[in-house]
Amino acid sequence: MILVTGGAGYIGSHTNKALNKVGYDTVVLDNLEKGYESFVKWGEFVNDDIGSKSIESIFKNNDIDAVMHFAAFSSVAESVEQPQKYLKNNYKNTLNLLQMMREYGVDKFIFSSTAAVYGNPESIPITENQELKPINPYGHSKFITEKALEREAEKGDFNYVSLRYFNAAGCDFDCEVGELHDPETHLIPLVLDAASGIRDSISIFGTDYDTPDGTCIRDYIHVNDLADAHIKAYEYLKDGNSSEVFNLGNGQGYSVKEVIDTCKKVTGKDFKVNLDERREGDPGILIADSSKINEKLGWSPKYDLETIIDSAWKWHEKINGI
Ligand code: UFG
């Protein structure tokens, strides 16, 4: 049995589906603060908080072999306004989970980390051994949790894989689960809102970056590719391998303008694009070097930007009744 914390959220629900499809049993733990019970279509569901002592019953009542830990807050902007909230949920509550694992002898942990641990990278593409210099409380909360995992592994009888996601995007091709944030802050769903007329326009945050068209470049990775990496990470630990940290990206960068143009092409819709000021805390370019996970786990991304946007558009049409 695999415990999937945050399995009612965006990446957690896609991974929970993928795990069940290949025959793993799961129990999903989510407090539904950001997640949706309707996204838990596979495995058992427990509505509780990872910081609560009561989660002990999950470990008591199930034969948990590993924990995949998605439950976390993930908005950079919110973390700047409420750093304590991020410290408590993302860091301190993870310590509660780790303590519970230790008490019940659960020794495999797969952690949702982020490219935000790098801050402004020294060079592009980013390799895992670059210095970690997070520039916002969200990135910092994930950074110190990675450090806690290192210490836990040093104690022995515990191994983890930390997966540093770049820009998770796209949705389940069957539209059984998808991306639904409130408020939405991510580029692709917001552009699709403009394409369908839910919003009257999309704003580009900054046109004076040191990039070919002046807009920020990001590495968009399909959520199913992330889900696949989690399964490979679990099997790697199950085979008795020791702790590792991996980047997860496509290795290809797209500018905000290129994403908007691809959305126009995929949807066949035109819409208004505003040129706006930079958003605080946005690095100009983030592109992953994911060769380490390719070499060690045989993982490689399957889906390109057009497929990512097409899957997000189908989900967008479904939830908005288009
Ligand atoms: N952007 C716009 N207009 C918008 C929204 C976003 O121009 O309305 C731009 C942003 O400035 C950025 C790019 O689109 O350059 C992507 O922005 P997102 O908000 O979609 O994603 P981020 O790159 O800011 O953040 C994502 C995750 C974080 C994670 C980070 C690490 O949401 O949790 O990737 O790479 F930390």
203 lines ligand 1 (CB under 6 A): yes
Q: In the structure, what pLDDT confidence band is assigned to residue 280 with cuts at 50, 70 and 90?
A: confident
Q: Reply yes or no on whether the pLDDT at 50 is more than 90.
A: yes
Task: Give the distance (Å) from ligand 1 centre to CA of residue 141.
Answer: 18
207 lines ligand 1 (CB under 6 A): no
Q: Rounded distance, CA 194 to CA 313, Å? A: 11
Q: pLDDT (tens digit, 9 = 90+) per residue, 51-90?
A: 999 999 999 999 999 999 999 999 998 999 999 999 999 9
Q: Which amino acid is at 266?
A: V
Q: Reply yes or no on whether the pLDDT at 281 is more than 90.
A: no
103 CB-contact burial (10 Å; exposed 0-12 / middle 13-18 / buried 19+):
exposed
Q: Reply yes or no on whether the pLDDT at 269 is more than 90.
A: yes
pTM (global) more than 0.95 = yes
Q: Chain centroid to CA 236: how far?
A: 20
Closest CA to 258 of 301, 288, 201, 216: 216
166 lines ligand 1 (CB under 6 A): yes
pLDDT value, residue 49: 97
Q: pLDDT (tens digit, 9 = 90+) per residue, 1-40?
A: 999 999 999 999 999 999 999 999 999 999 999 999 999 9
pLDDT value, residue 56: 97
Pocket test for ligand 1, best of 112, 142, 186 (most atoms within 8 A of CB): 186
91 catalytic per annotation: no
Q: Rounded distance, CA 180 to CA 199, Å? A: 16
